[in-house]
Structure 1
Amino acid sequence: MPSVCAMGSLKALLKRKQQRLYYMAIKRIEIQNFKSFRHQTIELGQFNVLIGANASGKSNFLQIFQFISDIAHHGLINAISMQGGIEYLRNTNLAGQKDFALKIVLDSTPEMAYEFALHFDGAGFQIEQDKLVLNPENEASEVAVIFSTNGNIKIGNVLSELQQDVLDKIRLIKTLKPQTLLLEQPIFRLALTEILNDVDIFNTISVYDFDAKQSKKTVLRAGKQELETDTSNLAIVLKHILVDQEKKRLFFNMLSYVLPFVEDIRVQPFSDNYLIITLKETYSKVYLPTAFISDGTLNAISLVTTLYFQEKPLLLIEEPEKHIYPYLISEIVDIFKDRSEEKQIIITTHETEVIKHTDLEHILLIYRDNEGFSKICRPFEKEEVKTFLQNDLRAEYLYTQYLLGIIDAT
């Protein structure tokens, strides 16, 4: 396993060799009437670990981001359908009592927020609000850059705040079709990309849920070079990594940190048009095909591939520690911390070993209140939790004893 010094030199290599990505993509999310949420404001950091019991709403939280991505890629109508329709998009207890609303505060200069709201009318909906604003932290000084009313576009007076070429792109948007959002417009996202240091945040959101059973399958050699969210094309992605000597060196350096027994990995032809992953361990002379590789090993390979070889400023991963031996989880958390210097990372877990090795300020706790709505808080901000920690009770113990939930359940 690499030493601390080796890890330090690796970090230096990363900063020299890799293009430095934009730091924190999303500063805050506000959501209303979405799945198990009534109303929630979530302040995000560079590294965010969402913990909570089963059915507390962890997956629903990630679905907020999936919904945003689906709108950008497929349009609002399709995105709602992909969530199961209006019936399952909104909270079943609230139904039509409250509008759906989403506000995304971007970590930009100047600070900006994109927000929209939907009013439900039986089985249908209307767009009540759709706008991009400057200075969202202060309502008195908030300025609309562009907003849509019934598909009609209006541009705010922001000449002094934004570059002229950005404004020129925004002005190209004249009207929108019914039930269509600004976020669906490529020219709108292009303007945002220029504001966000050439990072297209909305087009690059992916929610990963590693599935070793998918990674074990043979895959057609002709396919996407970008990793699928279920890692079903892992063989194709690895093939492109391993033919590049610099990427290959980085890949095996990082892999040895979490899987020290792996000596080599190959992607080999299988039949005429298929590829398969094979792996050689240090104490064996045989390359094992994926059918004989453990789920934990494949998930660790997927994790390294996602963190170091997917050019995305925001990574969301559901239970990345699945099937991984508890002893290795401290190394996994170290890798997350390392990559969070250059990417914004959000993971979900209910594994106590992850909590044990994560600084408390990075932890978000999700729970259900007395009415069944999901709520999110930061335990580190609770004085009662600090008192327990000062008395040598570790965070993972507090979590298993439900003591991180010393919070208002209202």
Structure 2
Amino acid sequence: MSESQHSQPDEQLKFLRLHLTNFLSYRSATLDFTDLVALVGPNATGKSNAVAAIKLLREIPYHGLPVAIARRGGFDQLRHRSSGRPYNPAIRLDFRFGDEEESFYELKLRGVEGKRYEVKEERGEVHGADGYVYSFLASDGMLTWSERRNDGTLVENPELQLAIPPGQSAVSVPASYGVFLVSRVLQSMQTVEINPARVGELQDPSSTREFEPDGSNTASVFDTLSPADKSELVDELAAIVPGIDRIEMRRFADKVTLAFYQEIHAGKRREFLAKQMSDGTLRAFSILLAMHQPSRPNLLVIEEPEIAIHLGALRTLVDILQQQSEASQVVITTHSADIIDTLGVDSIRVVWNEGGESRIAAVAEHSREPVRQGLITPGQLLKSDSLDPAAA
């Protein structure tokens, strides 16, 4: 079967859950995804470590497994430790295309002498919309794969093999269509942690159509949007920052920036360059732009969107994210009780640390019930440290 005959990943992709085993502070945990999820919990409990797993998975097809691990501080830093003993990490991602059966990708690593690592096992199974199941397994440096119909009939590629370079991921060597599909799935996740200073400064022109996580190429990305997308983004920003009615790219020699047009008095409008806008405005604009970028991710992770954004604007931003999450799933890490109240209790995942191990769970039923009865809000529970997780 040629690649042109295969079904392609599409807007029907949904992420279901992320399983972490012996990864950083997690001994064993599962993060369940919905359209919009908020990770809440005190500092140093493990929220950023869950995000680190998503970053690692995304970077494997882009940069290769060795670079993705090096960016997390090296293999030895990834391993969970209990009583001083390091354990071998594993990550599994469950997802689905449309109404098909669940698909998955799993990566297991193990340490070897000299604080190095090797891929113990890497496997995936993708149920495509074309009625085919694409499977692969990488173990002991060899990749095998097969394709079959939903009824189990083998189509082609029985026990074909390919050598994988030591320490590398099969996803970086897309020899089969199943591996290619997993690579596309991993690339469709993105994390952003906006730095308003990088958004406001003069930027180098960028040929990429992909949003940089810190917002350092906002001018170039905005310029690639269609007129309809630009108009929608401006309207959304105007709901957060009243008076904004136009945004344009400006060139200064070999640099670019954005100009924001805002009505300051009745009938009077003024142009403000990005560096003149508040940090909260630049952060809100960049988050919205990440949602509208041409290579729109199927899963967007936003770290602490509340920083520098005032309360009224924050609630509006979250409302917009909720609307946009119908097209792209969203994960937020936050300490904001106001965000939690805007989202509702079903969207909350509590992260806590117990005995040196990070854990993730939905809100416990005894915390949900008073919220349902209108006796208290999720944000008030969070402030009073009473937003308890469901028992494992």
CA contact (8 A) 2:146 2:154 kept: no
Q: Does 1:204 align with 2:188?
A: yes
Q: What is the aligned residue count? A: 371
Distance 1:94 1:323, change over 3 A: same
CA shift, 1:276, in A, is: 1.9
Q: Distance in 1 between matches of 2:207 and 2:359?
A: 40
- Cα deviation, residue 94, structure 1: 6.2
Shift of 1:287: 1.2
3-state SS of 2:307 partner:
coil
* Structure 2 residue aligned with 1:10: none
Q: 3-state DSSP class of the match of 1:83? A: coil
For 1:191, the equivalent position in structure 2 comes to: 178
Matches of 2:134 and 2:275 in 1, distance apart? 55
* Equivalent of residue 383 in structure 1, options 335, 342, 365: 365
Q: Among residues 358, 362, 366, which one is paired with 2:347 in the alignment? A: 362
Residue 150 of structure 1: how far off its partner (Å): 0.9
| 1:150 to 1:192, Cα distance in 2 relative to 1, 3 A | closer
- Between 156-165 and 200-209, report the one with greater CA deviation: 156-165
User: SS of the counterpart of 1:392?
Assistant: coil
Q: Tell me how far apart the structure 1 counterparts of residues 389 and 111 of structure 2 sit (CA, whole Å).
A: 35
- Report the CA distance between 1:159 and its aligned residue: 4.2
More deviation, 324-333/116-125: 116-125
Residue in 2 that maps onto 1:344: 329
Conserved? CA contact 1:24–1:46, under 8 Å: no
Report the identity percentage: 22
Matches of 2:286 and 2:277, distance apart in 1:
13
Matched, 1:401 2:384: yes
Residue 204 (structure 2) aligned to one of 214, 220, 237: 220
Q: Does residue 1:117 correspond to 2:108, yes or no?
A: yes
Say if 1:320 and 1:193 are closer, same or farther in 2 by CA, change over 3 A: farther
Aligned to 1:245: 227
Q: Whole-Å Cα distance in 2 between the matches of residues 161 and 226 of structure 1?
A: 39
Structure 2 distance, partners of 1:317, 1:70, is 17
Following superposition, the deviation at residue 321 of structure 1 comes to 2.4
Query: In the TM superposition, what are the counterparts of 1:19-30 in structure 2 within 5 Å?
Result: 22-30=11-19
CA contact (8 A) 2:346 2:362 kept: yes
TM-fit CA distance, 1:302: 0.7
Matched, 1:65 2:90: no
Question: TM-score under structure 1 normalisation?
Answer: 0.82
The match for 1:145 among 125, 128, 135 is 135
Q: Structure 2 unaligned runs (5+)? A: 1-8, 128-132
Whichever residue aligns with residue 112 of structure 1, its letter is S
Aligned counterparts of 1:101 and 1:127: Cα–Cα separation in 2: 10
Question: 1: CA distance between counterparts of 2:343 and 2:353?
Answer: 23
CA offset at residue 160 of structure 1? 4.0
Over aligned residue pairs, what C-alpha RMSD do you find? 2.7
Q: Go from structure 1 to structure 2 and tell me whether the alpha carbon gap of 1:399 and 1:151 turns closer, same or farther (over 3 Å shift).
A: same
406 and 344 in structure 1: CA distance in 2 versus 1, 3 angstrom threshold: closer
User: CA–CA distance in 2 between the matches of 1:331 and 1:163?
Assistant: 51
Q: 1:255 to 1:144 in 2, by over 3 A?
A: closer
CA distance in 1, matches of 2:62, 2:159: 22
Q: 1:383 to 1:280 in 2, by over 3 A?
A: same
CA shift in 2, pair 1:162/1:179, >3 Å? farther
Instruction: Note closer, same or farther for the CA distance 1:171–1:269 as it changes in structure 2 (3 Å cut).
Output: farther
Find the counterpart in structure 2 of residue 268 from structure 1.
Answer: 250
Q: Is the 8 A contact 1:96 1:120 kept in 2?
A: no
- Is 1:328 aligned with 2:318? no
Letter of the 1:295 partner, please give it.
D
* 1:298-350 deviations in Å (ceiling 9; x for gaps): 11111211112342211111112221110122211211111111111111111
TM-score, scaled to structure 2 = 0.86
* 1:143-167 superposed Cα distances (whole Å, 9 cap, x missing partner): 99221221223345734458988x6
Q: Give yes or no for contact 1:23–1:342 (8 Å, CA) kept in 2.
A: no
User: Alignment partner of 1:40: what SS?
Assistant: strand
Q: Counterpart of 2:308 in 1: which secondary structure?
A: coil
* Residue 144 of structure 2: aligned partner: 154
Tell me, in whole angstroms, the C-alpha distance in 2 between the residues paired with 1:173 and 1:337: 45
Structure 2 counterparts to residues 54-93 of structure 1, below 5 A: 54-93=43-82
After TM superposition, give the deviation of residue 84 of structure 1 in Å. Answer: 0.6
**Compared with structure 1, are the counterparts of its residues 163 and 203 closer, same or farther at alpha carbon in structure 2 (3 Å cutoff)?**
farther
| Maintained 8 Å contact 2:124/2:178 | no
CA distance in 1 between counterparts of 2:221 and 2:237 reads 15
Structure 1 runs not aligned, ≥5 long: 1-19, 136-142
* Secondary structure in 2 matching 1:72: helix
Distance 1:216 1:177, change over 3 A: same
The CA deviation string for residues 342-366 of structure 1, in whole angstroms up to 9 with x for no partner, is 1111111111110011121111111
CA shift for structure 1 position 402: 0.9
- Distance in 2 (CA, whole Å) between partners of 1:163 and 1:345 is 37
